[in-house]
Structure 1
Amino acid sequence: MKKVGIGIIVRDSSGAVMASVSQIIRAGYDPLIAEATAILRGVQLALEAGFWHCIIESNAQVIVNLINSQSSVSSDVGLIVTDILNLIVNFRECIISFVRRNANKAAHCLAKLGVMSDSDGF
């Protein structure tokens, strides 16, 4: 079974890192499902940390566009997007934005670390 690493960094409004997670997902996932899962995990982490405002950045433009358009998509990715949309209503403000991979290096490094890890935990 294929291993996919995801990296999540939670920052406050000044950009200071408040939490970070590196996680491995074991499955034959489509890359879009892995990217959507990373966004979902980031939203969950921000909620668990008690943030009322959040900005979620991802280099998966297709997923970011699906979330921001609030489109209904009949697929596995669509189910994850629906979960994300159901969770972000709990924030006072939640912005989902696209960033290029080179602007998202820390999360990318955490994702690589997740692949090398033996832990499946969050």
Structure 2
Amino acid sequence: MIPEPSTFASGSSHRVALFPQPTSDFERLEDMLADAISAARDAVQHAALIDYELYKPIQALMKDVEKQVDLGRLLTDDFRRPCGAAWSSLSQSRPSADAAAAHEHMTDRLATALRLSHRVNDLLAAERDIGWRRGVGR
């Protein structure tokens, strides 16, 4: 929603100034989840660019991540467990100089997807708890 503009006189013409209102995370749930899916998909696509010695231990985990991304289900432990384990493994490993950029990018994208998944889930849990306290769904 675009806020109503304020006008300021400026001689024989006028200027319009828009003051965007900040949005809360709760209003951006869908965007945040879409960003998480995009980040996870990007990490899966970058897996081919990292060192094979580093990819081999997380290969099964990345298959699980890819499956959940394809289903669009990032709010479950079926996504968070393999994503977190793959991120942990990658963040503790040291890539070769040739694959360092891809390794860093993949690690960052997994962390972003995991963080957004947790944030959206936390917001939904808060909404559910508040609704229950208000008597909704009892």
Larger RCO: Structure 1 or Structure 2 (Cα < 8 Å, ≥ 6 residues apart)?
A: 1
TM-score of the pair, normalised by structure 2: 0.29
Higher strand fraction (1 or 2): 1
* TM-score, normalised by the number of residues in structure 1: 0.31
Structure with a larger share of its residues in helix: 2
